[in-house]
Amino acid sequence: MSGKLYLEDGTVFEGKGFGKIGTSVGELVFNTSITGYQEILTDPSYAGQIINMTYPLIGNYGVNSFENESKQIFAKGFVVKCISEHPSNCASEESIDEMLKKMGVVGLYGVDTRSITRKIRKLGAMKCVITNEDLSIEELDNIIKSTTLTNEYVKQVSTKEVIHIPGEGPRVAVIDFGAKRNIIENLKHRNCDITIFPYNVSYNEVMSINPDGLFLSNGPGDPKAVPEAIETVKKLIQVLPTFGICLGHQIIALAVGGDTYKLKFGHRGGNHGVYDIERDKAYITSQNHGYAVDSKTVENKGMIITHINLNDNTVEGMKHKSLPVFSVQFHPEGAPGPIDTEYLFDKFMTIMNDDVNTKAI
């Protein structure tokens, strides 16, 4: 089965198809992780995107039923150089090809993923169409020109109902913009009593559970696409200890009156260096985002920059000068990638407990 990747600038990459037979349009991005393709594919933050993996061999250890980061794949396509048709791992339950077929995702292999990555780095993330159907270049050009990419991905990936996970620790209200499973697992591991709310939850709904803290999750797309969430968070951070990750970090920046902007090609992979200013220590982190916080705009609004990216000096973390509010752009839960910064979940526990004790006094 043949396949093609057609970019909006007219570039064509021809290879072989796998996964679902079909055609999809999305934003082309690249990920530099060597392992963790299953977690990457099931990360809701990839909604609407076509993922090009820079590591040449994908699928060699198969896929299992317990490492998914969500119940489905929200990405529009998957591009790799080589796929393993015979995975070897004691935990493997199916191949990457079978996974994509089952979850309805178009795949392409046998293409020069290095060349694709270099083009993205030069021109930026761009619209493209991926197909493993017998379509001509003219047909693909018509498809890409007639398709407008939506900016409402958070609405697609967020929970549609309130979910309660009992625990004996602090009550945490989680606003779900596309939360990865391992973020929730980190809160469960610390015995939190967790209530997960949809992205458009109101201030009164959150406060109705009398939470000890607020957690703002990761999620896809432009943070400015969820203005209702920004307005709610603006009120909540005034009264609740708050921890934000990725999109949650960006929403905090907008809630305090700061600004965000789109990166040329984003940060996606498990090997991004970040400097923790307060600890005077560098960490290798897992990242997946296409937008960043404008440092000057938040520093003028009461925020202190706590982490910076060692590759391009973008903001990777911040905290409020007077409120118990902090956030990071990277993923301390890993999945996939390093978990050296899981201490941030412990920091969240500490500020929640401190706030409870202060109120008790």
> What residues are annotated to the active site?
246, 331, 333
Helices (H) and strands (E) in the chain, counts: 11, 19
Please tell me the distance from the alpha carbon of residue 260 to that of residue 266, in angstroms, as a whole number.
13
The β-bridge partners of 274 are 283, 309
Cβ atoms of residues 174 and 184 within 8 Å? yes
Which 3-state string (H, E, C) describes 102-125?
A: HHCCEEEECCCHHHHHHHHHHHCC
Cβ atoms of residues 73 and 42 within 8 Å? yes
The β-bridge partners of 16 are 2, 109
Please tell me the distance from the alpha carbon of residue 128 to that of residue 9, in angstroms, as a whole number.
9
Please tell me the distance from the alpha carbon of residue 30 to that of residue 136, in angstroms, as a whole number.
25
Angle between helix 247-255 and 227-236 (nearest 10): 70
Residue 189 Cα distances to 125, 185, 336, angstroms: 36, 6, 18
Query: Apex CA 127: angle with CA 159 and CA 139, to 5°?
Result: 115
Six token digits for residue 14: 């021809």
Please tell me the distance from the alpha carbon of residue 244 to that of residue 355, in angstroms, as a whole number.
17
- Residue 146 CB coordination number (10 Å): 8
